[in-house]
């Protein structure tokens, strides 16, 4: 009775979006550290990505079924393209990248996804100019320069080419956001999009792993490794659904702040699990990137308000 009243209280309902935001930060922030550990123990990044997406897709299909939903098959091409650009390619790149760079740094590089979103948006004329957006780009650029400084790279033992390679992940995330905003079919439910994208990504990666003969028999794996793969797959499905819940509860602008919690939790988890110590310049770069993203998000809100006025 008391717990029921607590969950229905105004205080809890106001705090719920913040709690989900922090929980998503914890879930997604730990992904690079988990993948780094599993891959270091003999699982190929390609087949690891396949198993994670297969498990996630299976769980989301079950959730969609329990919700009484049926994915519209007529948007097949859209699902496939979204699956490749939002999941299959960027996640596989990330799993390769963490074999060469610290997990905490990988999480930090994901922060620049909104910057790429703005750049792609400008190219296709869906972003309005605002001075704060330019200031955000400058801050992000300074942050990247600090990360690529010889002292930082040497201390992290992270090759410059590997850092640049890792940027493919946030670039694809951003590309997908812009693509979906332009091409998403009307009345397509977010859960249907999640199901279609994850199934398409899993099938695509299965084909690639079979071609390269790199399918990993997870059933023969060490119990800890198998458990982490199952956990990561379940985590991916849970985070997918929670993020859509967060958007419904608090809106896209508030939900975009998950970037900050993911970065903070990711760096802390990388330090705890892998004993990673990021150089001072990288911490300064983190602050600069946070400021850059905040500028761009603030400018987006201002331009949206001006448009609706």
Dump the DSSP string for 73-133. GGGHHHHHHHHIIIIIHHHHHHHHHTTTS-HHHHHHHHTTHHHHHHHHHHHTT-S---HHH
pLDDT digits (tens, 9 = 90+) for 263-275: 888 888 888 888 8
pLDDT digits (tens, 9 = 90+) for 212-261: 777 777 777 788 998 999 999 998 888 877 877 777 777 666 666 777 88
With a pLDDT cut of 90, the percent of the chain lying above it is 21
Residue 74 predicted with pLDDT over 50? yes
User: What is the distance between the alpha carbons of residues 112 and 117, in angstroms, rounded to a whole number?
Assistant: 9
Domain ranges of the chain: 23-308
Mean pLDDT of the chain: 84
């Amino acid at each position: 009775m008391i717990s029921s009243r607590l969950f229905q209280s105004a205080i809890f309902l106001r705090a719920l979006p913040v709690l989900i935001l922090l929980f998503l930060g914890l879930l997604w922030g730990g992904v690079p550290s988990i993948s780094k550990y599993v891959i270091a123990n003999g699982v190929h990044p390609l087949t690891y990505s396949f198993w994670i997406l297969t498990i996630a897709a299976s769980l989301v299909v079950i959730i969609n079924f329990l919700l009484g939903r049926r994915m519209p098959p007529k948007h097949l091409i859209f699902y496939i393209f979204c699956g490749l650009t939002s999941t299959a390619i960027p996640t596989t790149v990330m799993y390769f990248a963490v074999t060469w760079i610290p997990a905490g740094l990988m999480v930090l590089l994901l922060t620049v996804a909104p910057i790429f979103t703005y750049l792609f948006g400008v190219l296709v004329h869906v972003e309005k100019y605002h001075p704060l957006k330019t200031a955000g780009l400058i801050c992000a650029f300074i942050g990247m320069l600090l990360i690529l400084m010889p002292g930082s790279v040497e201390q992290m033992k992270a090759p410059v080419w590997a850092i640049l390679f890792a940027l493919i992940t946030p670039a694809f995330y951003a590309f997908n956001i812009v693509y979906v905003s332009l091409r998403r079919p009307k009345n397509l439910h977010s859960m249907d999009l999640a199901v279609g994208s994850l199934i398409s990504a899993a099938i695509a990666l299965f084909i690639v792993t079979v071609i390269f003969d790199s399918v990993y028999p997870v059933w023969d794996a060490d119990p800890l490794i198998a458990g982490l793969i199952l956990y990561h797959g379940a985590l991916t499905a849970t985070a997918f659904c929670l993020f859509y819940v967060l958007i419904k509860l608090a809106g896209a602008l508030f939900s975009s702040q998950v970037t900050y919690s993911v970065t903070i939790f990711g760096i802390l988890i990388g330090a705890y699990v892998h004993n990673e110590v990021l150089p001072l310049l990288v911490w300064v770069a983190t602050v600069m990137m946070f400021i850059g993203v905040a500028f761009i998000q603030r400018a987006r809100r201002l331009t949206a308000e001006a448009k609706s006025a």
